[in-house]
Amino acid sequence: MQYPEPIAKLIDSYMKLPGIGEKTATRLAFYTLGMDQKDVEDFAKSLLSVKKDLHYCSICGFITEDDPCPICRDKSRDRSTILVVEHSQDIMAMERMHEYHGLYHVLHGSISPSEGTGPMDINIPALLKRLQKNTEVKEIIVATNASLDGETTAQYLAKLIKPAGIRVTRLAHGLSAGANIDYTDEVTLFRAVQGRTEM
């Protein structure tokens, strides 16, 4: 016996989310079915709002309602340092730490030969243009994830940027191999920033 079409479609929709298999998607679909009408409508509005009201900052690539984003507009930020991350949620993890006061750049992924993702498929060209325009930048802190793809991306960035005379450092001490920045606690992130190493 098959599920009615509306619930089957909802299960399929949930399965498109990362890490959600058929069992979890089915549980979520039936949970949604049992929710109050207003809660479901609010949930649907939130989903639509994320797609309609948010876009990427034209300078750093962070998610924002206004362009440029609040971080890029903030004149009190240290403009001599740019911390490069893979995803927007990594910025939120760094900001929770309250220790880093420079600028950011979001790559929207990493170089991954196994997945066919090259340097031109992520936000590297925008970073290079940004560095050409902004002569204030003295240091790039590469904060890609401690994975094979993250390391590949970090090494690629170092090779591109160091010849321009800009210091390139990498987060270290505290981030274990395979760790994702957005799941890392503030103390570990603080140690990683403080213990960054030259590349």
The alpha helices in the chain, defined as continuous H runs, are: 5-15, 22-33, 37-53, 70-73, 88-97, 124-133, 148-161, 186-194
Report the distance separating Cα 139 and Cα 131, nearest Å. Answer: 10
132 and 49 housed in the same domain: no
pLDDT at site 34: 96
39 and 111 housed in the same domain: no
146 and 170 housed in the same domain: yes
178 and 148 housed in the same domain: yes
pLDDT at site 148: 84
pLDDT tier at 123, thresholds 50, 70, 90 = very high
Q: pTM value?
A: 0.79
Print the domain residue range for 113.
56-198
Burial of 139 (0-12, 13-18, 19+ CB in 10 A): middle
pLDDT at site 174: 58
46 and 27 housed in the same domain: yes
133 and 160 housed in the same domain: yes
Structure confidence by residue, pLDDT tens digits, 23-45: 999 999 999 999 999 999 999 99
pLDDT tier at 197, thresholds 50, 70, 90 = low
144 and 95 housed in the same domain: yes
pLDDT at site 128: 95
3 token code pair = 């599920």
106 and 81 housed in the same domain: yes
Domain total for the chain?
2
* Residues composing the chain: 199
pLDDT tier at 107, thresholds 50, 70, 90 = very high
